[in-house]
Structures are given as structure tokens and as C-alpha cells.
A and B are shown apart, each in its own frame.
Chain A
Amino acid sequence: MKREKGSARTAVAKPKRDWSKFRKIIWKNRAVYLMILPVVIYYILFHYKPMYGVIIAFQDYNPRKGVAGSTWVGFKNFIDFFQGYYFTRLLANTLKLSFATLIFGFPVPIILALLINELRSKKFSKMVQTITYMPHFVSMVVLCAMIRQFVAQDGFINQFFQLFGYSGKNMLAVGSLWIPIYVISNIWAGAGWGSIVYLAALTSIDSELYDAARVDGANRWKQTIHVTIPCILPTIIIMLIMRVGQIMGIGYEKTILLYNEGIYDVADIISTYVYRIGLLNREFSFSTAVGLFNSVVNFTLVIIANQISKKTTETSLW
């Protein structure tokens, strides 16, 4: 992307002197601008218009009066949220769930890819890949249905833990089990699929590096530490930054399908709260404010992660 910026700059370097030339380029390429028009309209209509709609967070929005007619209330909605009963609980739950999925979920695909990469038998490696990718193709609704069935009182996972003294209560009704259920099912569904990108990075490592390491007497463990991991580090970092960008956007779809009122105190996160308050209770302004808080925190996290990564590893999204 940096390179493009540079090239665009050279194209418009001296706008005044090159204005006619500039116009000529545009006219010559008018077809391409016509082609991008639907795309621009799409982004304006379905991305930027809702961003503009965010201003109702600072209003007491009345759908009948519209954005122009509604009264302004400044930061009242935000203050209400920050001082409200649920704020700390929601923030804590969101962060806990996010960091748990990140810390436990993020390394698994990498480890899986490294293990697959070490397999000597091509056939077995192919089989591992085919089978571990499969859960990715189960839809969210079906995945959650399976979880609900399996951890219910008569479900096999529940019964398995009964062997070790578990009470047998529906596991989704036990608050302390919420995060483990969420995280483990996430790993089940996504680890295999997530390993593909690392496998791709692994196959592109120059085999001469391994030859050189072997000549230096490095065994497979040392080769992994000194050749493999440094080579896939840029991929890992890019994936990590992108994951950090999803911290606050952590799966409300899955939570909505799995949680119940009994475990709201651990399972309710900001995005599910926005859904309930906004769409079920129709408090549009307040829920938009809560959502905006979420988006801003999220955006800040991406920028920080990207900046840190840029400084320390010279790998960055932009």
C-alpha cells in the first residue's frame, strides 16, 4: 500500500502545472471511473451513511422526526451508559471473552500448522487437513445447536464430565463454564481452517534455509525455532493485528444463540447488549451510543496494535 501511495503522489505531484495533463488522464480513463461508481455508491450508502447515522448517539432520536428534527442531548447517552449499572459488567465480560479466545484460540492454528508441516507422510497430512477444516463448514446456527445439545443434561459432553463428578446441570446454565464452552467450541470450529494461512506461509519458506541449518547441525526442533518460526512471523503478526481489531467485535451472533438470562452476568457483552436495548427495546439513541463506544475502542486498539507492530517488527497493516 505504501508503494501505491508513492505512485499516486507522483501522478498528482504538481497539480497546478500538470492540471491539463491530469484532466487528460481522467478523461482517457473515464470508463474506469464509471466502473468504480457502483462501488463508491455502495460504500457511501451502506457504510458511510450509517456512520453519519451515528450522530443519533448525541440525540434523543425520534424516528418520526428523523435526525434533523430530533433534540440534541450532547454526551448524555454516553454518561448514562458509563454510570449505568451494567457498564463495568459488560466491559469486563467483553474483554474477558475476547482475551480468552485470543490467548487460547490464537496459538492453536499455528501449532496445528507446525505439527502438520512436520508430518512425513503426504497422505496423512492431506487427511489431517481435510478433516480438521470440516467443522468450519458448519453454520453458526448449527454449531450452536450442536453445542446446546451436547452440553445439555442428557448431552454426551455433559455425561462425560459426570464421570468426573460433574453435577449434570445443563452446562450453559453454569456461569463459570460459559467462557470455556465458548472458547473450546471456537477452537473446534476454527482451528483447522485457521491453520491454512500458516501452512501457506510454511510452504513458501525457502528449503535452502533448512539445508543450511542442517549443515550447521541443527536438529528439527532447532530448525523450527530458528528457521520456521522467524519465517512465518510476519504472517503471525498480521493475523494477530487483525484479531486485535476484532476484540470488541467479539461474536455477538454466537453469544445470542447460546446465552440465556441465567448467565447474563458473565455472558452478556457490549454487542449483545446493544442488540437487546436497541432492537428489542428500541432505545435507538442510547444503544447507538453504546455501539459507538465499542467501535471507538476497537478502532483505537487496531491503531495501537499496528503502531506497536510497526515499531517492533516492521510488519504492519498500513
Chain B
Amino acid sequence: MFFHIVLERNMQLHPRHFGRNLREHIISKLMKDVEGTCSGRHGFVVAITSVENIGKGLIRDGTGFVTFPVKYQCVVFRPFKGEILEAVVSMVNKMGFFAEAGPVQIFVSNHLIPDDMEFQSGDMPNYTTSDGSVKIQKDSEVRLKIIGTRVDATEIFCIGTIKDDFLGVINDPTTI
């Protein structure tokens, strides 16, 4: 699920950036530092939309670096248990398959794949129904439901299922 929230961060800036473009420097460094990171609490930071306010800088003793408290608005993506996501399959093996929904990695184990789909090994491993009408392989798009998340301080990993109504392949790359 996506959220638009306000976060705060202390930015350390080298003295050489002090000048007319101080604000721009702070913002570009903030984007470089924050976008694409993941915190267990808020999820993945997708994009910074605006900077609300930059506080007074504090000069660090000894180094000359200055710390600015920065408040910024950003879009975060946080997967939840029970959420339905669309994801792209990144790897298929006999234990199941891995899929990616943006920055999130999701593992679907083979017993959460419908019983009528069988694993086919080969140079393009895949899961196929007995009549061959549905095939899950690398780069397939699937709709899945998250049934468990592991949230660490710096990463989020999910397991999903496609064994439910309206879940499964939504777009097969070979038919395009």
C-alpha cells in the first residue's frame, strides 16, 4: 500500500557546498540518500515530493560539517499481509517462484501454487497447467496475495499465494 507521509532526517553537509545553492544541494543530497531505501517502519521510500522545511544547521565540532534537520514529504510503499499485489516473476525453481512488485521481493512456494500447475524444468523453468493453457515463467505478470511479511530494519520480504480466486497469471509475455 502507498502512503504519502512526512518524514524527518538530519542531513550532514560538507562545508564546500555552503553558498547560494545550499538549499538545492541539501535537497539533491536528500534525494540521493533517501529514495529507494527501505525502513522496516515505513516501508520503501519511493519518491520525495517536497521539502517542508529545513531547520537551522548545527556545526559539528572538529569537522566543520553542518547538520540540518530536514522535514520532507514522500511517497512510501509498505506491503501488508492480506494485500493483493501485481508482480513480475523474476525466477522460477522447483521450490516455487520469486516475483517483484517494484522494490519488494515476494516468494510463492510451490504448495501455494494451484494443485493443477506442475513444475517443468528446462532452460526456461516454468509452472504449467496440464492442458498448457496457463504458464508461469520468468517475466510473467501475476496477481498474488501476500500472506506473510518479514520486516527487518532495512528490508522487507514477503511470501505470497496464487491459490485463491482471481489470482494467478494476468499477462503472459509469450503471447504478446
Tell whether A pairs with B.
no
Interface residues, chain A, with chain B CB atoms under 8 Å away: none
Interface residues, chain B, with chain A CB atoms under 8 Å away: none
